Structure 1
Amino acid sequence: MTLATTESHLSYIAALQEMARSALPRYGFPSNVQVALLSHSENTVFRLDNPNTGWRAVMRVHRANYQTPNAIQSELDWMTALNDAGIATPQPLRTLDGESLIQVETAAAGKRMIATFAWVEGDFPDEGNLPPSLQKLGELSARMHRQSRQWQRPSYFERHTWSLDDTVGENGRWGRWRDAPWLDREQVNVLERARDLMSLRLASFGMSPDKYGLIHADLRIANLLVKGPRTTIIDFDDCGIGWFLHDMATALSFIEHRPDRRELMLRWAEGYSRYGALTQADIEEFPTFLMQRRLQLLAWMASHSETELAQSLGESWVAGTAELATDYLHQMG
C-alpha cells in the first residue's frame, strides 16, 4: 500500500468514525463515549467505551450498497431468534425510538446503515488444538441448522444465496477465483476441472430443504468467543441460504489443505451428530464442500488483495489450492 493509498484509507476510516460518533445520541449514549476502530473488512466495526463506567458496545457501520436494509434486519432478527433458542449471539441494541437498525448520513461518508451490539466478553478458541474446536463447531452448526429449519422468518426476510454460481461462478459474490495472483495455466486447468466435478456432484446431491437452507456461512474458530462454559457465535454478515454442509467447510477456512483435514472434518461430524443427523452420503460429500469453500476463498483473495489477510496467504497458499484440487479430482472424480 502506497503512502497515498494509506492516507486515503485513513481519511476514509476517519469519516466513518465521525459517522459512528454522530449516531451516539440516537441510542441515548453519553457524549463521553469513546469510538475506536475494531476492524475493517466488508463492514467497519467500532468499539464503544464509556471511560467512567466501563460500559462497552460494538457499532457496525455497513458497507454501502452491499446489503439491503431488509437483509440486514433479517440478519439481526435471526441472531435474536438464535439467542432466544439458547444459542448465544451478540444482541442488537435499540435506539431511543426502538430501532435495531438505523440509517445515518454525513457529508463525508454519505448514507450508511448502522447496527449496534452489546459487548461480548470472551477469547478465541486455541488454534493450536483444532480437533476439540472442530467438534464444538459441529455441535453449534447442528443446533443452528435445527433452529433455522424451524424458524418462522419475517415477511420481509431477505438474504443472499450461496449456490455454486454464487461462490465460485464467473460472477461470484466475491469475484473470480481465476483472478487470484500467482496462478499459472496448469493450475487454472486443474481448478476448472475441480469446479466442473463440483458442479456435477452438487447437482446430484441436490438442494432439498433437509440439505439447503439458512446458514451462518462463515462458522469458524475466528467467529467464536469463549468465556467459561459459554460460547458466543459472532459475525453473521455472510449468513444466507446455502447448503448446510457449507458450514462444515467454513470451519476449515484457509486451512483446507492441511494433511489432517479428513480427521478434522470427521471431528466436526462427531460434534454435529450430537444434535443433528448426517447421512453417509453427506459425509462422503465433505471433500466437495471443502473444495468449493477453498475456491470461494481464492476468489475472495483476488477481490480483497488490499487486506492484510489476503496478503498474508501468499504464493504457497495459492499453490496449495491447486494441490487440493488435484487430490479432490483423484478422490472424487
Structure 2
Amino acid sequence: MSDTDTSRLDGDAVAAEARAALAAFGIDPVSLELLGGLDSINFRVDAGERGCYVLGLHDLARHDPRAIALSLAWLDHLALDTDLVLPRPVRDLQGEHVSMVRFPPRRARPCTLVVWVEGEPPSGALQDRFLEEAGSVMARLHGSRFDPPPDFVRRRFDAVHASRCLSGIVSVYGDALDAQQSDALAHGTRAITALLDGLPRRASSFGMLHGDFHAGNYLIHGDAFRVIDFGRCGVGFHALDIAIALEVEAPQREAFLAGYARVRPLPPEFVEHEHLFTAMAHLDNLAFLATRPQERSFMLETLPRVAEAFARLPGPHGVRAP
C-alpha cells in the first residue's frame, strides 16, 4: 500500500501521526478532519482560538522536501508582496517550513502546515466574473518577482521536463499506442522542446508558475475568488500557466484572458505560440495521470485524441508529422 492511499488508512494510526506532526509545529488540535489528496495525506486542523490549518503528511518517495520548501517560500513571499488570500505557511518549532517527522516503523515524512483558506469549490461552470478574477489572480502571481535561493530544488517546466513527460507516458501506456500514435506524440514533443529551448527567457514572462491552476484548485468565498494548492509550482514560461488554466476553462477563455490583461499584458510567448503551450499543458497533465492506475480508462480514451492533435503540430522546421 502506498503511504498516500487514503482509502485503506488505519484511522487511529494516521490520526496519531497527524498529532505527532502537529506537535512539531506547536499545535494542539481540537479536532482533525481527513481530507482528500493524491500524493499526500491531508487534514483540516481546528486549533480553537488559534484558527484552522491544513496539515500535509507527504510521501518522501514522491516529494523532495527541498521542492516542498520552494512552494512554501514562494507563498511566504506572496503573503508579503501581495494582498491575495493564499494558504500561508506556518513554520515548525525549529523555524523550518518542512518538518521531518519520524513515524515508526515507517521512515520519516516531510510534514507541512498552512493556514486554512475559507471558500467552497465551484459547483458547475464558473461565472465570467469569477473567471476574470481568476485571470487577474494569476497575473498578480506572475507579476510578483521571486528569486529562490540556489539551494532550493526547483521544478523546471522546460524541454527536459517535456521529454521526461513523454517517457513517463510511454513507459506506462506504450503498449496501448500504435506506431502512428507513438510517432505523433514524439513529433509533438520535439516541437515543444524546440520551442522551449529556443525562446529567450525574459524576466517579464519567465519565472515562478503555479503549475496546477485549474478549477479543482479554485475556491469561491462570497464574491471573492481564491486559488490553493501550490504543490506543483516551479519555474517556466508564464504562457504555460495560462495554457493549463485554459485547458480546463476553454469555453470561457476570453473572460480569463481579459482578467489577466487587466493586470499585466499577456505574455508574447502565449500570443505567438498558444498551440504549443497548450500541447505542453496536455503533455504535463497526461504524464501526471499516467502514474495513477485509477486514471487508466481516461488515459486510454484520451491518448489517441492527443496523438492526433500532436500530429498536426508544426515541427521545429514547420514540418508536420506524416
Please give the TM-score of this superposition, normalised by the length of structure 1: 0.80
Q: Secondary structure at the match of 1:37?
A: strand
Going from structure 1 to structure 2, the CA distance change for 1:328 and 1:70 (only over 3 Å counts) comes to same
- Give the structure 1 partner of residue 44 of structure 2: 47
- Give the structure 2 partner of residue 34 of structure 1: 31
Please give the TM-score of this superposition, normalised by the length of structure 2: 0.82
The AA in structure 1 aligned to 2:36 is: S
The 5 Å alignment of 1:219-258 reads 219-253=213-247, 255=248
- Equivalent residues of 2:6, 2:36 under 8 A apart: no
**Alpha-carbon distance in structure 2 between the residues aligned to 1:151 and 1:172:** 26
- The superposition leaves residues 166-211 of structure 1 with CA deviations (integer Å, 9 ceiling, x where unpaired) of 1x31x34992346337433322222222222223333333333333
Deviation of 1:289 after TM superposition, in Å, equals: 0.6
**Alpha-carbon distance in structure 2 between the residues aligned to 1:251 and 1:80:** 23
The AA in structure 1 aligned to 2:16 is: E
**Alpha-carbon distance in structure 1 between the residues aligned to 2:44 and 2:140:** 29
- Structure 2, unmatched stretches of 5+, are none
- The superposition leaves residues 83-104 of structure 1 with CA deviations (integer Å, 9 ceiling, x where unpaired) of 2211221112344554443110
The AA in structure 2 aligned to 1:161 is: R
Going from structure 1 to structure 2, the CA distance change for 1:280 and 1:20 (only over 3 Å counts) comes to closer
The 5 Å alignment of 1:38-187 reads 38-49=35-46, 56-84=52-80, 85-129=82-126, 132-147=129-144, 150-154=145-149, 156-166=151-161, 168-169=162-163, 171-172=164-165, 175-177=168-170, 179-180=172-173, 182-187=176-181
The AA in structure 2 aligned to 1:180 is: Y
Task: Out of 212-221 and 69-78, give the one that drifted further.
Answer: 69-78
Q: Secondary structure at the match of 1:299?
A: helix
Q: Secondary structure at the match of 1:91?
A: coil
Moved over 6 A (4+): 5-9
**Alpha-carbon distance in structure 2 between the residues aligned to 1:175 and 1:53:** 46
- Equivalent residues of 1:92, 1:100 under 8 A apart: yes
**Alpha-carbon distance in structure 1 between the residues aligned to 2:221 and 2:155:** 31
Deviation of 1:153 after TM superposition, in Å, equals: 3.6
Match of 1:275 among 260, 263, 285: 263
Deviation of 1:64 after TM superposition, in Å, equals: 0.3
**Alpha-carbon distance in structure 2 between the residues aligned to 1:294 and 1:7:** 25
- The superposition leaves residues 38-92 of structure 1 with CA deviations (integer Å, 9 ceiling, x where unpaired) of 1231222122236x77953210012204444333223212112212211221112
- Structure 1, unmatched stretches of 5+, are none
Going from structure 1 to structure 2, the CA distance change for 1:229 and 1:155 (only over 3 Å counts) comes to farther
- Equivalent residues of 2:55, 2:111 under 8 A apart: yes
Going from structure 1 to structure 2, the CA distance change for 1:230 and 1:74 (only over 3 Å counts) comes to same
- Equivalent residues of 2:31, 2:45 under 8 A apart: yes
